[in-house]
Amino acid sequence: MESEPTAELIRAQLRRLRLAAELTQEDFGKQVHFSGSQISAIELGQRPYDRLFLKRADEVLNSDGLLLGLLRIAELHGQPHFLRPWLDAERVAQQLRCYHPTLVPGLLQTEHYARAMIRADDMFSDDEVERRLAVRMDRQAILTRPNNPPILIAVIEEATLRRADESFRGIMTQQIGHLLDCVKRGGVLIHIIPVEASVHVGLDGPLTLARGAEGDWVGYLENQVGGATIDRADEIATLLSRWEGIRSVALPKGQSELLMKEVMESWSTI
């Protein structure tokens, strides 16, 4: 949920943009598929808005994504306190290294895959699932930003790519295709740990590392109830050593791509 000051700012900007466009609430409402009274209620804070509404409003008002951008900022600042230092490090990283023993890293997840993973927690309402999904998708924008995007190196378990029942097969096929597209686009390197490597140091848990412009490293460790940002030199040294242990059992780039294609084809033909 957006904070109240940010919600007020979004409503104020919505009204300012609408008036600048010389649109009545009724005329504007028709263009975004709302009634004039509904627009009035949104501007007065008597009715909530969602991402779809703000996206339509930005398009109609030619606001260059201002309203949706404000919502994204509010959502990022609304993240738990333990996550905020990591988000700051991730946003300015020159290189990212990601490993998870059971999942595709969040920065490489498709929308369908991410939604399924978030929805697996039945404590989340549908609205909360969609909010978390939107934040996750927005974070991926760092990989395609026009100025100095980070290099992402991801290590993924072959078993992760092969874990899918019949209902999940289409999502998994699309997800692997997305991984291959990311590699082809450039800026992303993916290495697969084959199932034969049954025991290695990475099985202790997921880890992510970010290297800043000055060469400094920050780490992030997640768990069932939250996560921790790591910046102490001795702990970073340990994580870098663990990363090298994980990377050492993964296949080279070319072999990893061939294995991903093989797994994707196996899901497509079953």
Domain 4-76 has CATH 3.40.250.10: no
Highest mean pLDDT among 14-28, 129-143, 211-225, 246-260: 246-260
How far is residue 91's CA from residue 267's CA, in Å, rounded to a whole number? 34
Rounded to 5 degrees, φ, ψ at 83 are: -90, -25
More confident residue, 168 or 117: 117
Residue pLDDT, tens place only, 24-68: 999 999 999 999 999 998 888 888 787 788 889 999 999 988 888
How far is residue 107's CA from residue 149's CA, in Å, rounded to a whole number? 13
pLDDT band at 228 (very low <50, low <70, confident <90, very high): confident
More confident residue, 169 or 252: 252
Q: Give the per-residue pLDDT at 1.
A: 43
pLDDT for 235 beyond 90: yes
CATH number of 81-269: 3.30.870
Percent share of the chain, pLDDT over 90: 53
Contacts of 207 (CB under 8 A, 6+ apart): 99, 219, 220, 221, 239, 242, 243, 246
Query: Hey, which residues does 210 pair with through a beta bridge?
Result: 96, 218
Residue pLDDT, tens place only, 81-132: 666 777 888 888 999 999 999 999 999 999 999 999 998 888 888 888 888 8
The SS3 call for residue 81 is coil
In this prediction, residues 141-165 reach a mean pLDDT of 91
Which residue from 109, 108, 187, 106 is spatially nearest to 148, judged by alpha carbons?
Answer: 187
The amino acid present at 97, given as its one-letter code, is R
Torsion of CA 265, 140, 235, 229, to 10 degrees: -130
Q: Give the per-residue pLDDT at 30.
A: 92
Domain map of the chain by residue range? 4-76, 81-269
Order across the sheet with 151-157: list the strands.
188-193, 151-157, 95-100, 207-211, 217-223, 226-230
User: Under a CB-based contact definition with an 8 Å cutoff, are residues 126 and 118 in contact?
Assistant: no
The SS3 call for residue 94 is coil
pTM, two decimals, is 0.73
pLDDT for 156 beyond 90: yes
